[in-house]
Amino acid sequence: MSPVPPFRHALCPLLLRPLAAVALAAGLAGAAAPSPAAAATPRELRRNEIVEAVEKVAPAVVNISTETRVENPFGGSIDPFEWFFGGGQRRPPRERIENSLGSGVIVTADGYVLTNDHVISQASKIAVTLRDGRQVEADLVGSDRDSDLAVLKLKDKGPFPFARMGDSDDLMIGETAIAIGNPFGLENTVTVGVLSAVGRSLPGPDRRAVRYADFIQTDAAINPGNSGGALVNILGELIGINAQIVASGQNLGFAIPISRGRKVYEELRSFGRVRPLWTGMVLGAADEAELAEPQAGVIVWRVFGDSPAAAAGIQAADVILEVNGQKTGSVPEFDTALARVGIGGSATVKLRRDEQTLTRSFRPTAFTRELGARVSQLILGFTVAEGKNGTVLVDQVRADSEAGQRGLARGMAVLQVNGRPIEKSGDFYDEMPASLYRRAVNLVIATRSGRYRLTLPTRR
């Protein structure tokens, strides 16, 4: 046996004497009156703020499973090549069912659930599994593709456990973030990290152009199946709905801030859809314009008469720098700031006009479909009407418009606007406010001879 190093022998008496004294003092004190720490169990000693936050929210996080019926136009037939070369096997059935899993958060005691639009998109059946094992069917109240949010209503009677919405406008970089969801179907999985950043700009789930510039970034692990789950602060308050990941990265997760989620939730619950906002402005990035001095901001290309912007005195060629104190260096940032204002809210904008810095205020209104017909006629040069069998047809076309000059004619079918399928005229007109923030509108048109794409400018 090797000898113990001398310095150990020298330190041991020095350490043991105070330790013994502390132990004796603790023993005497314990004999007189047990301390709270001594009375606590090891489990109670391990209970920290994270555990308490999870206990508050986890029962409200649910597993969402969906069924989607997918049509196979060649289903049930025999492949002619297989028949010729032998085998003659029949193809899969004409209709098949696809299943998917995601997460959601119950936000009211009577069973309203907030989740992602891409979790329930095109689902024919939605089932929700609670943490206690109950399986409940849910109805779709409404969904919004642009914000990637949807609201469900549980069919069973409550009360249900629910998460309280917090304030995502008061976040601190580095504060604790807790993600709760069902990655890969593993129910109520908890991961912990920090808030890595706020105000991130991201494309939509199908890689469309950026719509919002306020995503929360966290390094709390988020995986497939976490979509629609809860991002929670240390107080157990819901601060975000987990939405996206960077698959090629590590612990790069993104959540929709609850400040935006709350407004979308209220719109979907009240109206079944998010009503578009109307300001009366055609906008673009300031660096696209030929300004005397390049500026970061959003330039006003056109102001419609009898609109909130016109009433506020905003003019064409103004450059909007801020909305309610939030910088708007790009159209997505303006769109995000306006979404926070909502219909009827107050928007105070700081703008640059020539050498002056001015302040103007207005209240966005709801964009009606009647207004959509007017805007489409002025900007694109045509209107639409309902056709037969769920089609939307071109109705009136201005002969002096680019649409008319490029051959668009009455009776042609409009299948898509900016990548969005159009099933009724309301879908078409709902796209008009967003189209005013684009340099051009991309259409898919169908005629008897086939389909073709048509791009029409919005700034003329």
Catalytic residue among 65, 103, 146, 148: 148
Catalytic residue among 103, 118, 430, 435: 118
pTM across the whole model: 0.79
Domain boundary among 271, 295, 319: 271
Domain-located, residue 392: yes
Give 90's contacts (C-beta < 8 A, 6+ positions apart).
76, 77, 78
Specify whether 251 is located in the same domain as 180.
yes
Domain-located, residue 285: yes
Task: Answer for the pair 84, 130: CB distance below 8 angstroms, yes or no.
Answer: no
Give 120's contacts (C-beta < 8 A, 6+ positions apart).
64, 66, 102, 126, 140, 143, 150, 152
State the total domains in the chain.
4
The reported pLDDT for the residue numbered 145 is 87
Specify whether 362 is located in the same domain as 390.
no
Domain boundary among 212, 244, 271: 271
Task: Answer for the pair 258, 238: CB distance below 8 angstroms, yes or no.
Answer: yes
3-state secondary structure of 287: helix
Specify whether 64 is located in the same domain as 144.
yes
Specify whether 281 is located in the same domain as 362.
yes
Low-confidence ranges of the chain (pLDDT < 70): 1-38, 70-96, 204-211, 289-294, 460
Catalytic residue among 65, 143, 196, 227: 227
The reported pLDDT for the residue numbered 90 is 54
The reported pLDDT for the residue numbered 407 is 92
Specify whether 181 is located in the same domain as 256.
yes
Specify whether 292 is located in the same domain as 257.
no
The reported pLDDT for the residue numbered 9 is 35
Domain boundary among 271, 291, 319: 271
The reported pLDDT for the residue numbered 75 is 57
Specify whether 348 is located in the same domain as 381.
no
Question: How high does pLDDT run on average in the chain?
Answer: 85
The reported pLDDT for the residue numbered 27 is 45
Mark whether 430 is an active-site residue: no
Can you read off the two tokens belonging to residue 92?
Answer: 């899969």
CATH code for the domain in which residue 340 is found: 2.30.42.10
Mark whether 9 is an active-site residue: no
Mark whether 146 is an active-site residue: no
Domain-located, residue 327: yes
The strand ranges marked E within 58-115 are: 61-71, 95-106, 112-115
The reported pLDDT for the residue numbered 135 is 93
The reported pLDDT for the residue numbered 92 is 60
The reported pLDDT for the residue numbered 3 is 44
**Which domain does 147 fall in, by range?**
56-73+93-154
The reported pLDDT for the residue numbered 314 is 97
